[in-house]
Structure 1
Amino acid sequence: MHNIIVALLLLLTLAQAFAFESNYQGLLDEIVATEVPSAENEARLTALFEHQDQGIRVSAKIRIAELYWKTGRFEQAEAVLQDVSRGFDNYPPKYQVESLLTQASFESRRNNHREVEKYARRAAAIAKASHQPLLANTYYVLGNSLMAQRKILAAKQHFELALAQYKQMKDDTGLLLTLNSLGVVHKDNGDLANGIKYLLQAREAVERGGSKGYRATVYYNLGDVFRDSHEPEKAASYYQQALEIDLELGDLGNVAYDYTGLAHAYSALEQHTKALQNNQKAIQQLVKIKAPQELSRAYLQQSRIYRDLADQTEQLKSLQLAERTAAQSQSKYQIMSVDIEKAKYSLEQQDHQQALKQLLSALAIADELSLEPVQLEVNKLLADAYQPLNDYKKANQHLSTSFALQQKLDNEDLREKSERYKGDLNLLEEQLKVSQLEQKEAEQAQAIEMQEAVKQRLVIMMLASTIVFIVLVIFLIQRRKLAVLKADLFEQALQQKQQLFADVSHELRTPLTALKLQIQALQHDLVSNVEDSYDKLAGKVNEINRLIADIYQLAQADTNAIELNLTEVALSPLFERWQADWQSTVENSGFAWGCQLALANTRKSMDTERIKQVIDNLLSNATVYTDKPGKIVLTAAIENQQLVVSVEDTAPTVSEDKLGKIFARLYRVESSRSRQTGGSGLGLAICESLIKAHGGKISAKQSELGGLKVSFSL
């Protein structure tokens, strides 16, 4: 019963293998891959309902019906199947077989095994006549339906036919499922040795490779083997493994069977509370899927659990429910099973006549179905029923019959084979445990590595986040500081601009006023020496021209527009020639002259006119701002491959706090070096711009001579 449910998966796998048009292969692969119920899988399948190929449409509908059934949406599943059935006559043989086998699969879930047999036989007839590749599937499904009806010999025959077909087709999945079913049919017929042999082969096959659904089926049947061989702990382990897989796959029908198996195993372990809990879970699922035969089996098991709990009231209620659902299933085997349990209850109640009636009914069915293990049990119970009625003859007859059956079933050779196969199964179990343990250790090691990697990534992410946060905070702080600084600089620039305009206006106003006075004096004949007045006018005009030239030069510096005429010159002869002019100028101004040149044979690339302009300005400042008598000294030397030129003078000097300001435009030291001495206050600013244009540096400090020392390097 558990096996037939996976038949549909096998069917769709074969549909993939024999797709008649290669360009549809990818779509069929998608359909077969949708084993786990999910909204995504349903959407993918629904999208194929309108496909132009009929086979794709049918396969998609079959699969989505399966997903609906697994998730308990039975009405939706049936509606889809009805839609599939409506086009049956127009389908090619391949899809007719698939449609019939799908109907058989759904009927098997309801335990309507007669209907399953009917659909499977129709499918087999079509496959045999028109589509051989699916014939093995029809034999497999038919064998399962016959096994469920306890038609053991016929079931074996069809499984063997399916096995031969699958071997010929080299279909590993079909072989796996058929070996599993052969193991079950032999086990259920009392041939535990062959049952274990086939299940052992199925177990080995599923471990080599098989879907989760197939693995769950094999685990469930191995649980049955250990249950029947009185090893309930191992049985519970296999049932639990099957349950975990079926829960993951969302297969409600198989989940119910798993709970039933667990209930039986816990009952054998005398853990009656657990047994009852699992059995009730099974009943809840079986009620949903409307499976009367399996539901009757669950109620029978529940009656046994209540018997072990000494609750006769609930035991009887469960027996009555089992009887009612067995009648609904129309399964002779299940009706027989209920009669046997009712007979046991009657014997417990000392109602021997009622027990005889129930046992004789059960024996008739067991004889009809050739179920020797059941015949053995019923004959023993009949002997127990006749003995209290003093009918020792019949009691003895049934004891003799049971003894003969026991000897037949207790064949020593079969016992040896059974023990040997159980030993093989246990060995495989231990090997698999070791393999699973190694795999688990490897997975744990991998998980630890992944956790460490995740931890490292988290630490890195946290550090990165912290760094980003700190950088962001610093950026925002710096941005704010920069904004404040920009505002301050803007304010300072504005003030400097206003001061510049004021100073330039003042500087221009002075010579312009003098010009105006001279012109007025000439107009009114107030001057005695006209030529002298013209000389004064020319001097003031020249002064204004110089001021304008200085301002223009600084404007060029601000826009990096100063053009240099760079030429490589020998420094020593150049400075020797220049110093003669400078000496004359300084001495004529009333100052002592000093010059120290250490230029050797050095050559330098520079704009000689601009450099001379700088030194002229520095010497001019010195003659203007130095007190008489005083001394002015020029020094030029090569230091670290750089030309270093200094001009220093005697008192007065400039205070330390004002040294950094003297290169500012229109700045004057308001002490002895004042505006009264003349000049525009732009000379040092021009010097600085010209030196920087050469890539050099200029600075000022207090001189050891008592005045100011200004130096620049190129």
Structure 2
Amino acid sequence: MLFGHQVSLLLILLLSIPLTYASDEQVQTSLSQLSLSLEQNPKQTLVKVDELNQLFIHPQPSSRFWFELKIIEAKAKTKLGLFMEAKQHLYELESYLPVMSKFEEAPAQIKLLQAQLAIKQSDISAGLLLLEQARNLVPKEHLTLRSDILHLLARALRYQANYSEAERVIKDAISLVAPIEDKARLATYYNQLGVIYDYMGSLQLALRFHEKSLNIQRQQQNQQGISNSLYNIGEIYRDLEKYPQALQHFKQALEVDKALGDPIHIANSHGKLSQVHLQLGKISEALEHSQEGIKLARASGANSDLAWQLSILANIYVAQSALAQALSVAQEALELAIEAKAKRTEHTVRIVIIEIRLAQAQYRQALSEIEAVMALPAIGNSYRATLLKYQAQALQQLEEYKLAMQSLEAFIDAKTQLYHDLDKQQALTMQQNVEFIRQEQALKLIQNEQALAKATLENLKLQRGMGASLLLCFMAVAIYIYKRQKQKQQFVELESDMMAESLAQKNRLLADVSHELRTPLAALKLTVEAMQHNIEPDPVKGFLKIQKKISHLDNLIKDIYQSAQFDNDAMVLDQQPVDVSILLNEIVEEFQPMYATKQQTLSFSEKVHDCICNLDAARIRQVIFNLLRNSHFYTSSNGKTQISMNVDEKGLTVLVEDSFPGVANEDLEKIFERLYRCEGSRSRDHGGSGLGLAICQQIIQAHKGDISASHSEMGGVAITLYIPHQSLLKSDS
């Protein structure tokens, strides 16, 4: 209300006097407020621009106020999805360039807006061409305009899945605006960098930059920026399978988007809400949001966004077993994705079509679709592994066993390569973390230098004319030089140590996992070779053996990935009040049938009832599952496993112990190490990854607790979980 009142007063003032007599200060104030309004409320901005346009009976391209007003009008129309009007508006503005020579940034600014319009309409190629022209036209001294061009260029490269180049470009944009402390642009660029890191799989860095962006946007009260940050943080929570948190962020983003009026942003928020509802099994809610997103995307004429929205609808139809509808929608999505050159969406839609073909038992058609996708350029190992798996399934159903085995061999190779890619990604994440720390330290060093220089200057002013000033200045410079050199040396040592530690961790992980992968891969290859040479008389049993080994391999890679995420602090706990007694009773009931297969007994003893703890129930359930699974596998038939729970003034203690056999003393100290295998009776291959206890330790440590192993009085192993008192909320009962 205050902003609208100020603009109205300015409008009355400007309309009440001739334009030639309006002061530069008045004009600049009006333009600044319109620019701020453009980010907060583009609808209102367009209304105010129309009112200010009444000042001009005829176009005045020589007027700075007229030119800036037209630029704001083009931006507002683009934000509101009025693409045809914005396009015509920019063409008209471009026609006045010959008489706007004194506005040296005008040609580059118009090209930038034309590029933004093209990218909004999914014409990435045209957008890149216009951005290249803008970069050649922009004057070097116009830092903010240069950074805006780089920001849009990074977005276009991201759409083309060229993430490494997009990262480089957006960092160049940040380097231009950071020294001049342009907070509005810094927040926008941090958000863009966070999205790029999200797509690269570096979730920790992505979340860090999104939170930095959100903090600045809230300080600036930029509603559109707040919406963008909420949307992207929600996407990270969705990747982490934290669906309630993702749902909350997407809902908040949608409310802000509706208030601002950008149809593409509103459609995207509807699409994300549809995806989360689908993953939560809420089909009707997912369908409602999907249909709303499709309607908005169609009206905007953005084929890339429409293809993505239709791919979500196809997945909903698959969940409803409406395969014919799913196929029709997916084929329309594929045509739009190809037309828009949206590679990421195209690959996703093609996978959906193949899944539909398999569900319809159209195996020949599925194989044809698979071959078409495999022939596409730049198919990553993840997509390739999925395609080979589907190809083997189709060939198996057609009883073409020899070809199916070849597909399985290729699938094994792709899965192995996926592990190596994962290892490289983790190493890259470590390197990026080190680089981020280095940049923060460098920034702090610059700030310290500036602060010291400012303090020295003030001291010189106060002590001017006094003989002591020279001595004080000399001492300050000497101390500064000494501290600066010492700080640089400390930083170099820190960077060296961190890089060495990162490299050592990477090498250890690579060596351990390579050794661990060798056994299932060797067994898998032997089985495949046996089937190739007809040694295996029953192909069906042979395929069952292969599928079992593939499942083992999948579990191992999944555990490796999860453990690496914990190492990089990507785990986010969802701590809620939980009755631990009820949780443990539920788990014991679930495991009773498994224990009965070996005539083993499983019991639960609780010394305290109604213990309410502030925990991540899913993570604690994972810990207890791993411990009970190990106990079931390693304890002899007719053995016993007992769980007990106690709470005292220090915290919660859960004890899981079993009967014979036990482990040696030296093994008790090492069983929580990754990929460590005990010798003797507890080293049999039960299909585990060797990471279960290491993951348990990481989860308990994330709760600020501790886990330890000892000899059990029952003859086996006793695992003790301890979570300190500050994590507990005792029940009033």
Pairwise TM-score range, normalised by the shorter structure = 0.5 to 0.7
Once residues 64 and 412 of structure 2 are traced to their aligned partners in structure 1, the CA distance between those partners, rounded to angstroms, is 60
Aligned residue-pair number: 406
Say yes or no: does 1:171 pair with 2:182: yes
State whether structure 2 residue 96 is matched by structure 1 residue 83: no
Residue 411 of structure 2 aligns with an amino acid whose one-letter code is H
Is 1:231 aligned to 2:238, yes or no? no
Distance 2:98 2:392 in 1: 57
Aligned to 2:32: 29
Are the equivalent residues in 1 in contact too, given 2:61–2:67 (CA < 8 A)?
no
Please name the residue that 2:256 is paired with.
245
Give the aligned partner of residue 370 of structure 2: 359
> Is the Cα contact below 8 Å between 1:45 and 1:64 reproduced in 2?
no
RMSD: 2.9
Tell me: CA distance 1:399–1:249, structure 2 relative to 1, closer, same or farther (3 Å): same
Tell me whether 1:148 sits opposite 2:155 in the alignment. no
Q: What corresponds to 1:41 in structure 2?
A: 48
Deviation at 1:282, TM superposition (A): 0.6
Q: 1:340 to 1:162 in 2, by over 3 A?
A: same
How far residue 417 of structure 1 moved from its aligned partner, in angstroms, is 7.4
Residue of structure 1 equivalent to 2:411: 398
Q: How does 1:460-475 map to 2 (within 5 A)?
A: none
How far 1:336 sits from its partner (Å)?
2.4
Displacement after TM superposition at 1:174 (Å): 1.8
User: Does the residue aligned with 1:34 lie in a helix, a strand or coil?
Assistant: helix
Deviations 1:13-58 (A, max 9, x none): xxxxxxx976642232133133221374243342365567543223
Partners of 1:190 and 1:373 within 8 A in 2: no
Letter matched to residue 316 of structure 1: L
1:407 offset after TM fit, Å? 5.1
> 1:37-90 CA deviation, whole Å, 9 max, x = no partner?
137424334236556754322322232233334445443333222212222455
How do residues 326-405 of structure 1 correspond to structure 2 at under 5 angstroms?
Answer: 326-365=337-376, 368=378, 371=380, 373-388=382-397, 389-390=400-401, 391=403, 392-405=405-418
Rounded Cα–Cα distance in structure 2 between residues aligned with 1:89 and 1:349: 63
Note the C-alpha offset of 1:418. 4.6
| Amino acid in structure 2 at the alignment position of 1:30 | Q
AA at the equivalent of 2:320: L
1:630-669 alignment to 2 at 5 Å?
Answer: none
Structure 1's 207 and 421: CA in aligned 2 closer, same or farther, altered over 3 A? farther
Q: Does 1:115 align with 2:126?
A: yes
**1:387 CA displacement:** 4.5
Q: Which residue of 1 aligns with 2:192?
A: 181
TM superposition shift of 1:283: 0.7
Deviation digits for residues 451-477 of structure 1 (CA, Å, limit 9, x no counterpart): xxxxxxxxxxxxxxxxxxxxxxxxxxx
Q: How much has 1:182 moved relative to structure 2?
A: 1.6
**2:77 corresponds to 1:68:** yes
Q: 1:363 to 1:199 in 2, by over 3 A?
A: farther
Q: Counterpart in 1 of 2:680? A: none
**CA shift in 2, pair 1:140/1:170, >3 Å:** same
CA distance in 2, matches of 1:228, 1:53: 52
CA contact (8 A) 1:299 1:319 kept: yes
3-state DSSP of counterpart to 2:178: helix
Structure 2 unpaired stretches of 5+? 1-22, 430-561, 576-733
Distance across 2 between alignment mates of 1:249 and 1:209: 16
> 1:91-106 maps to which residues of 2 (within 5 A)?
91=100, 92-106=103-117
1:163 shift after superposition: 1.7
Q: Secondary structure at the match of 1:169?
A: coil
Output the CA distance in 1 between the equivalents of 2:347 and 2:98: 40
Matched to 2:64, the amino acid is G
1:274 aligns with 285
SS in structure 2 of the partner of residue 150 of structure 1? coil
| Partners of 1:89 and 1:386 in 2: CA distance | 66
Correspondence for 1:483: none
Contact 1:55 1:95 in 2 (8 A): no
Contact 2:143 2:177 in 1 (8 A): no
| 2:462 match | none
Inter-partner Cα distance in structure 1 for 2:99 and 2:391: 57
- Equivalent positions of 1:174-323 (< 5 A) are 174-323=185-334
CA distance in 2, matches of 1:167, 1:133: 11
Contact 1:387–1:395 (CA under 8 A) maintained in structure 2: no
Contact persistence 2:61–2:99 (CA under 8 A): no
d(CA) in 1 for partners of 2:209 and 2:117? 26
Q: Deviation string for 1:221-248 (max 9, x for gaps)?
A: 1121111111222111111111111111
Q: Distance in 1 between matches of 2:147 and 2:171?
A: 10
Asked if the contact 1:197–1:421 (Cα under 8 Å) also holds between the matched residues in 2, the reply is no
Amino acid at match of 1:155: A
Distance 2:76 2:574 in 1: 36
In structure 2, give the amino acid aligned to 1:397: A
* Contact 1:156–1:182 (CA under 8 A) maintained in structure 2: yes
The SS at the match of 1:155 is helix
Instruction: Give the match for residue 68 of structure 2.
Output: 59
Relative to structure 1, the CA distance from residue 161 to residue 146 in structure 2 (aligned partners, 3 Å threshold; closer, same or farther) is same
SS in structure 2 opposite 1:321? helix
CA shift digits 1:634-670 (9 cap, x unpaired):
xxxxxxxxxxxxxxxxxxxxxxxxxxxxxxxxxxxxx
Question: In structure 2, what is the Cα distance between the partners aligned to 1:403 and 1:138?
Answer: 40
How far off is 1:257 after superposition?
0.7
Structure 2 CA distance for partners of 1:387 and 1:172, relative to 1, 3 Å: farther
* Distance in 2 between residues matched to 1:150 and 1:191, nearest whole Å: 15
Which residues of 2 match residues 2-17 of structure 1 at below 5 A? none
Structure with max Cα Rg: 1
Mapped to 2, the partners of 1:421 and 1:93 lie a distance apart of: 48
Secondary structure of the structure 1 residue equivalent to 2:153: helix
